[in-house]
Chains A and B, each alone.
Chain A
Amino acid sequence: SQQGEEDPQALSIQEGENATMNCSYKTSINNLQWYRQNSGRGLVHLILIRSNEREKHSGRLRVTLDTSKKSSSLLITASRAADTASYFCATDKQGAQKLVFGQGTRLTINP
């Protein structure tokens, strides 16, 4: 069963706009990670946020984590055509030795 659920499943915006994707999960976690997948390629790690952190930044990426609501959001600011990809959240359940991935959000940036 999926631990993480992304929302929306698909998002299409204009270049320069901000894109926000959400991830909800079911059980307590140690950390949450976000990955990007370009078409025909493997996943690339973007950012990791630990359960005791509330917000983390990396370049144009901003990730928040609300453990009380079991949810996270990924914000991409000033989007570019190169940001077109699928984005996945992955959670590390407490006591587990593996990640569980959500189904992903497919982001399209229109020029």
Chain B
Amino acid sequence: NAGVTQTPKFRVLKTGQSMTLLCAQDMNHEYMYWYRQDPGMGLRLIHYSVGEGTTAKGEVPDGYNVSRLKKQNFLLGLESAAPSQTSVYFCASSWDSGNQPQHFGDGTRLSIL
């Protein structure tokens, strides 16, 4: 099993460009999450999903959109990238909500110039 796979691993964008980060999990998990990790800030939740076709806002949702059309995939979109969105993005999945461990991908390192 691959677990949680994130693509791409690295990306450099110019301000105003758009892109989509893909997260795929093969564990049949209901819950999926997108976080960003910045130095000294820990992990902050952007959006999450409690099942196929559902999405919800996290702590820092502005500037991002998400979609969960298939249970195994969770997409994070940046419509108009800004330098403040330079970060490392992590996707995670779990069987249930906070009472179960989350399984993380290895991250996407995104730089916005």
What residues make up the interface of A, taking CB atoms closer than 8 Å to B? 2, 30-31, 33, 40-45, 48, 50, 88, 90-93, 96-104
Contacts and interface: CB of A to CB of B under 8 A. Distances in A.
Interface size range on B against A: 20 to 34
Contacts of A42: 4, 90, 92, 104-107
A97 B102 contact: no
A58 to B, nearest CB: 12
Nearest to A50: B99
A104 B98 CA distance: 18
Interface in B12-70: 31, 33, 35, 40-45, 48, 50, 56, 58
Given A30-B98, A92-B98, A98 B58 contact: yes
Contact of B97 (A45, A50, A92, A100): A92
